[in-house]
Amino acid sequence: MNIETKRSSLETVYRRGRRSSFSYALTSQGAEPYGTMTYDEAVRRSARIWDQPTFFFAVCLKGDDQLIGNLYFAPEGPPRLKTYTLGFVFHPAYQKKGYATEACLAILSHGFLELGLHRIVASCDQDNVRSWQLLERLNMRREGSMMKNVYFKYDDKGQPRWVNSYHYAILEESFKGFKIS
């Protein structure tokens, strides 16, 4: 599946193969929420993630086909609830330039207009201000706060670093007619 935006294309990962997977995790800053990884760590992580190809979309620049991030878009709960979860990770060099907003808006449109979804949900680390600001720009409503319910990284002793998260959602009727300002 391929979804086009003004400046990028979203392709289900199985169409792209493993080429340049998680290149953004190898930068000096890393990509939130995962941080910096060695090449071997990025390869192991991408091998695990790409095993669910229908749920991951590579976000690539039009023109040079550079991988700049990925979106996770998967069913949440029983199919009768018509609910999907949205997640995103972008290379630091492409953050604060509207690429994540554009890509997420395209996937929301796909979910509501093509898949006939009722609701799309997302979660983010409470300390990741840019992530929750993005969700709010997408007209998603903050529905709750969870304490130490998820982890993405480990401490020096190999123990999970649990983080608090915010939970967001948007309903089909809230999305229709919505425009990013």
* 131 assigned to some structural domain: yes
* 17 assigned to some structural domain: yes
* 53 assigned to some structural domain: yes
Peptide bond into 78 cis (omega under 30): no
* 180 assigned to some structural domain: no
> Domain limits at 119?
2-175
The answer for residues whose C-beta is within 8 angstroms of residue 10's C-beta and 6 or more apart is 2, 3, 4, 57, 58, 59, 60, 71, 103, 106, 107
* 38 assigned to some structural domain: yes
**Has residue 177 got a pLDDT over 50?**
yes
Return the half-sphere exposure (C-beta side, CA atoms, 13 A cut-off) of residue 67: 22
Structurally, how many domains does the chain consist of? 1
**Has residue 14 got a pLDDT over 60?**
no
**Has residue 40 got a pLDDT over 50?**
yes
* 58 assigned to some structural domain: yes
* 181 assigned to some structural domain: no
When pLDDT is averaged across residues 37-59 and rounded to a whole number, the result is: 62
Q: What is the largest CA-CA distance in the chain?
A: 49
Predicted confidence band of residue 65 (pLDDT cuts 50, 70, 90):
confident
- In 3D space, the residue among 115, 120, 134 whose CA is nearest the CA of residue 72 turns out to be 120
Taking the complete model, does pTM exceed 0.95, yes or no?
Answer: no
Q: What percent of the chain has pLDDT over 90?
A: 54
User: Cα–chain-centroid distance for residue 23?
Assistant: 15
* 32 assigned to some structural domain: yes
Q: Give me the CATH number covering residue 145.
A: 3.40.630.30
Q: For 70-113, how does the pLDDT look when each residue is reduced to its tens digit (9 = 90+)?
A: 899 999 999 999 999 999 989 888 999 999 999 999 999 999 99
